[in-house]
Amino acid sequence: MQQATALPTWADRFLTELADHGYITRAARTAGISATVVIRQRRTDRAFAVAVARALAEAPVPSGAREITCR
């Protein structure tokens, strides 16, 4: 059985910010990291990828937006 890995130290702040507004780059900047770090972490860490998906699902849809495929 695989042992669960802990999320990075910056993840809580990033995920909270992401859920507030839905913009990965802005949330990454607030957490003190780059969007590239987030992208790499999502590709290699399933638990983090799931947490990002949940945060994005909680985020408000920008006014006037019909469909958002990538933020």
Can you give the residue ranges of every domain in the chain? Answer: 11-58
Q: Is the pLDDT confidence value at 4 over 60?
A: no
pLDDT for 71 equals 52
Closest CA to 49 of 20, 14, 1: 14
pLDDT for 1 equals 39
The tens digit of pLDDT for each residue in 11-60 reads 999 999 999 999 999 999 999 999 999 999 999 999 999 999 999 999 99
CB 5 within 8 A of CB 47: yes
CB 71 within 8 A of CB 56: yes
pLDDT for 7 equals 84
pTM of the model: 0.79
